[in-house]
Amino acid sequence: MSANEKVYRAYPSGPPTYQQANSEESRQITQNPDWNYSLLECCSPCSLCFMSSCLPCLTFGKTQARLQDPTLQNYSSINADCMIFGALSLGYLQWIIQTIRRGEMRERLGVKGSCCGDCCATFWCGCCALVQEEKEVELRTRPELTGYQPAPQMAYP
């Protein structure tokens, strides 16, 4: 994967192709046990940094929505996760939900780390952690990296 392709995209682009999704470079990104982005790479892109600093609840909500549906087809800026984060922010308690969701995200994506590390990152560097999480989820859920994912089979109760 070339360096210019590891650039954050606010919204998903084209559909996947079989060849893109099955390359060794794609596997190195999507199955990397380490973060693809450092916690200190939070100033790029400026638009995401600015949004995470001024309205962190929107970035949190978008990341959680992206985890549910990487295409963001039914995405709404003001969603339940955004509102929970915003309400907890009134008492500077948003780091609690962010720690929980960061741990869930790490487990789902196979990123190494610990609850203690998540807690420290979200408490002391909350905005940087939000940027890191959004960029990581966006990169690892790109259609051209993950390939075609068939819809789950319907089941009768």
Q: Is residue 18 one of the residues assigned to a domain?
A: no
- Three-class DSSP category at 135: helix
Q: Could you say which residues of the chain have pLDDT below 70?
A: 1-5, 14-22, 146-157
Which residues, in sequence order, are CB contacts of 74 under 8 Å at separation 6+?
Answer: none
pLDDT of residue 4: 44
Q: Is residue 53 one of the residues assigned to a domain?
A: yes
Q: Residue 70's domain spans which residues?
A: 47-145
Q: Is residue 14 one of the residues assigned to a domain?
A: no
pLDDT of residue 64: 97
Phi, psi of 143 (to 5 degrees): -60, -35
Write the single-letter amino acid at 69.
D
Q: Is residue 35 one of the residues assigned to a domain?
A: no
Q: Are 77 and 51 in contact (CB under 8 A)?
A: no
Q: Tally the domains of the chain.
A: 1
pLDDT of residue 5: 67
Q: Is residue 130 one of the residues assigned to a domain?
A: yes
- Three-class DSSP category at 43: coil
Q: Rounded to whole angstroms, how far apart are CA atoms 85 and 98?
A: 8
Q: Is residue 34 one of the residues assigned to a domain?
A: no
Q: Rounded to whole angstroms, how far apart are CA atoms 62 and 79?
A: 8
Three-class DSSP labels, 51-113: HHHHCHHHHHHHHHHHHHCCCCCCCCCCCHHHHHHHHHHCCCCHHHHHHHHHHHHHHHHCCCC
Kindly state the DSSP code that residue 136 receives in the 8-state scheme.
H
